[in-house]
Structure formats: structure tokens, C-alpha cells
Amino acid sequence: MKTLVGMFITFDEGGKCLSGELVEQITPYQYLVQFDSAGGGSPYPLELMSTAQMIERSPEGLARCQFFETRAAMEAWMNYIFQEGGDVLRLVTKSPRKED
């Protein structure tokens, strides 16, 4: 079985995007994650995360967790998502309005 240890992740925590690294596999279904304030600032304490949490979907149906092999790839993704001014790029298009 391939491990996810060493991969970098972003995690959508209900409008707040956390970034970090999977640092240790505790059981086949649980990992320790070191979240890190998007590469800057003080790191968060280690957090236990299950694979079930990693595959959760947002209310919009999007994956809450994204996986990257390198920090540079993760940061490039975050730069793409967070456009100038801190606005989040909307990946979900609005449904067309129904005509009455």
C-alpha cells in the first residue's frame, strides 16, 4: 500500500483554507498533519486526520482536500485559487435563472 506521508495538502474548512503536510501515518486510515498557515507564520499543532475526512465533499460537491507532491505545486494551486485582492476564484458556476 502506498502511503501519503510527505504529500502536501490544502483543506477547505468551511471557507477557510488550511495548508500543510502529511507527516506520519498512524494507522492505515489515519495520518498526522502539520498545518502551516499557507507556508507562513506559526504552524498549527499536529492534527490527526482520517482518510474519511480527506475524501469529504463540500456542500457544493467539491473535494475539501487537495493533494500535491511538492510545496511549490501546492503554492501554485493556492495562487491560482486566491486571485489578486484575496478573492477566491469561484469554481462552481451559478445555475441559470428560470424564466417565469
The 10s digit of each residue's pLDDT in 15-39 is 778 889 999 999 999 999 998 865 5
Domain ranges of the chain: 8-84
In this prediction the pTM is 0.72
Q: What is the pLDDT of residue 17?
A: 80
- Give Dmax over CA atoms of the chain in angstroms: 56
Of the pLDDT bands very low, low, confident and very high (cuts 50, 70, 90), residue 94 is low
Strand order in the sheet with 8-12: 46-50, 30-35, 17-27, 8-12, 65-68
Q: What is the mean pLDDT of the chain?
A: 80
